[in-house]
Amino acid sequence: MFDDEVRLSGAAMLHNVRAFGELVGTNAVNRAIARLPEDRRAEYEALVPVAWIRASTADLLYSTIAEEAGVELHEVYPQIVRIGMGYSLAKAWRWLLVMATDATLLRRAPQLYAKGHDRGSLDAELVAPGSARLVLTQWPDASELRLLGIGCAVAAVLEGAGRREVVVTRTRTPDGATFVVRWRS
């Protein structure tokens, strides 16, 4: 039905909406859902963790929630992604993450990315201890919100693995974006 649109993981979307509820209140979330156009609301309400949702529907809901809550979406979204990723990284996974080396974490980055997005490809390399470069390709029109979310998810995984002072910067490229990540172990 919407074959040309980018899709996002249903689990990640549901975790983010739950995080919005915690951060800005469930009333704002419910008002935002009610304001969605009927087709988008039906798409969201039918969502299950193992399904995909259009990125445009996710972005519309996120911006409507932010509007209902009276907050700037790009300012609150990093916190939303970190909280949402916290739900994804269950206690058992957190224990394994803490045991993982930097190289192991980065080797898993492409698979983790693919679990959340049906478009684009993410490559990661450890540049030096506490420094990595991730390159998103095959998604030249990724929105700033999507790029912000990818960077925040990378930071959340590293923080969940016990890395401190994680800083992610991004630069848009013709084919996607480059993320430079730094942290302390």
The model's pLDDT over 126-136, given as tens digits with 9 standing for 90+, comes to 999 999 999 99
Mean of the per-residue pLDDT values of the chain: 94
The predicted structure's pLDDT at residue 91: 57
* Whole-number Cα distances in Å, 41 to 3, 24, 73, 171: 19, 20, 19, 33
The model's pLDDT over 172-184, given as tens digits with 9 standing for 90+, comes to 999 999 999 999 9
Output the pTM of the full model. 0.93
The model's pLDDT over 11-21, given as tens digits with 9 standing for 90+, comes to 999 999 999 99
Where do the domains of the chain lie? 7-88, 91-184
- Taking residues 23-44, what's their average pLDDT? 98
Task: Examine the pLDDT at 92 and tell me if it is beyond 70.
Answer: no
Classify domain 91-184 at the CATH class level: alpha beta
For tokens 């859902």, the residue is 33
